[in-house]
């Protein structure tokens, strides 16, 4: 794990790694400290992805460039392209799965398949949320993770749409799945 001091510094260091992760954090912030500790544990178990750290109170050009408005945030890159953003503090097992993951694009008849729009509504302490997100990563499904314990507007919108407060809930192209309903997930995502 290496610290970076600017966007240019990150881009230079990132070139040495096909897969890279950039962790944006704020020191003395409870969520950032939790996420950093768990990221370090995950990194110690997996060295397949280059991991870079940026303290947003000192490095001020990275988060605006990637339009990150809250920390902690883990940005995942493949071949220099931003692939996914995961916000909040998550279990080390989930972070290890992210770091180990090799993103692959499914192709049909020479054409790229359109990826589904997947949003997971979760909380850091929810074990089923971690199970769901780990399953998505292992099945090459890109997703946006929203921590409803820290985003009140998202939590209210979720209750308005689904009528439920529990997590996890997954929005797949506008269809809400409550809990970890493996059969429904496979059906909507085309996973065997």
Name the strand (E) or helix (H) holding 2.
Answer: strand 2-3
190: closest CA among 98, 106, 84? 106
For residue 138, give both structure tokens: 């292992």
The partner residues of 67 in beta bridges, in order of sequence, read none
Task: Summarize the confidence of residues 142-154 as an average pLDDT.
Answer: 87
Do 57 and 129 belong to one domain? no
Q: How far apart are the first and last CA of the chain?
A: 36
CA distance 121 to 149: 9
Name the strand (E) or helix (H) holding 31.
Answer: helix 30-45
Where do the H-state alpha helices sit in 46-126?
A: 62-65, 92-100
For residue 25, give both structure tokens: 């954090």
Domain-ending residue, one of 68, 100, 132? 100
* 113: confidence class by pLDDT, cuts 50, 70, 90: low
Q: What is the CATH number of the domain that holds 171?
A: 3.40.30.10
Is residue 90 included in any domain, yes or no?
yes
Domain-ending residue, one of 39, 72, 100? 100
Range of the domain at 143: 113-189
Domain-ending residue, one of 79, 100, 121? 100
86: closest CA among 46, 42, 27, 28? 42
Average the pLDDT over each of 17-21, 27-31, 71-75 and give the range with the smallest value: 17-21
Give yes or no for residue 48 having a pLDDT over 80.
no
Give yes or no for residue 103 having a pLDDT over 60.
no
Do 51 and 118 belong to one domain? no
CA distance 14 to 12: 6
Q: Could you give the C-alpha distances from 175 to 78, 79, 141, 169, 185, in angstroms and in order? A: 28, 31, 16, 10, 10
Do 73 and 140 belong to one domain? no
Do 58 and 17 belong to one domain? yes
Do 134 and 94 belong to one domain? no
Is residue 107 included in any domain, yes or no?
no
Task: Summarize the confidence of residues 24-29 as an average pLDDT.
Answer: 93
Q: Prior bond to 162 cis, omega within 30?
A: no
Q: What is the pLDDT of residue 102?
A: 39
Task: Summarize the confidence of residues 113-138 as an average pLDDT.
Answer: 87
Is residue 39 included in any domain, yes or no?
yes
Is residue 105 included in any domain, yes or no?
no
Do 125 and 95 belong to one domain? no
Do 87 and 146 belong to one domain? no
Percent of the chain whose pLDDT exceeds 70: 91
Give yes or no for residue 49 having a pLDDT over 90.
no
Higher pLDDT, 185 or 87: 185
Q: What is the pLDDT of residue 109?
A: 37
The domain total for the chain is 2
CA distance 117 to 31: 27
CA distance 107 to 109: 7
């Amino acid at each position: 794990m290496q610290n970076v001091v600017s966007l240019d510094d990150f881009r230079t260091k990132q070139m040495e790694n096909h897969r890279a992760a950039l962790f944006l954090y704020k020191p003395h912030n409870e969520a950032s400290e939790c996420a950093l500790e768990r990221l370090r544990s995950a990194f110690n178990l997996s060295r397949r992805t280059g991991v870079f750290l940026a303290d947003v109170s000192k490095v001020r050009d990275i988060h605006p460039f990637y339009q990150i408005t809250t920390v902690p945030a883990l940005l995942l890159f493949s071949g220099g392209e931003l692939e996914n953003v995961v916000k909040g503090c998550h279990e080390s097992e989930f972070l290890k799965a992210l770091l180990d993951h090799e993103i692959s694009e499914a192709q049909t008849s020479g054409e790229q398949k359109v990826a589904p729009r997947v949003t997971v509504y979760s909380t850091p302490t929810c074990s089923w949320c971690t199970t769901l997100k780990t399953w998505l990563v292992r099945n090459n499904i890109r997703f946006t993770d929203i921590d409803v314990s820290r985003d009140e507007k998202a939590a209210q919108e979720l209750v308005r749409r689904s009528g439920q407060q529990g997590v996890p809930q997954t929005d797949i192209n506008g269809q809400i799945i409550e809990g970890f309903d493996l059969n429904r997930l496979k059906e909507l995502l085309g996973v065997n």
